[in-house]
Structure 1
Amino acid sequence: MSVQDDLAAVRRRLQDLEHTVEELERRVGTERGAPPTSSAGRAQSMVTIPEGPYDAGKWTDVDDEGLGARDRHAP
């Protein structure tokens, strides 16, 4: 097979995979009682991140990322 034939086969398989995943999403949505979604526009849920500072009490036993432990020097 040539490279073009290989690429065409990969594209077909990728399209088959996308179709199969969309069909599974529809079936799972139907089983859960959710309204069917169109593949053209998927709804994305938004997550609101608070602007205030995080609770410092949650971070008492962790190291600063990339800096090593507080009582030792980074390598």
Structure 2
Amino acid sequence: MALHEELTAVQRCVDDLVRTVARLEQQSGDRLTAVDVRRVRTDTDRLRESVDLLRCSATPPVPPRGPDLVTISDTPYDTALWANAGDLDDEGLGARDRHAP
């Protein structure tokens, strides 16, 4: 898994933990010491902040990049480019005075 995906999974788990601690705090009433519950809530809030800091410091995923496109003009080439070419093949079809195989 990529780092971004791992941090997202950790964030979801921490969010679930924060919700569970809040429910525990509501349901416990007087059965749990208020100081202990407050301490756990503070710890989970700090953990959430730490994961947020990690996510901010991680580099965002780089999307895959396709090949660079090159625009080819529709205008014909300047024939002067091949004026002194001598006995060069014309587009792979053979020399000018010969036939293609």
TM-score under structure 1 length normalisation: 0.35
Determine which structure has greater relative contact order: mean sequence separation of CA pairs < 8 Å that are 6+ residues apart, divided by chain length: 2
More helix as a share of residues: 2
TM-score under structure 2 length normalisation: 0.28
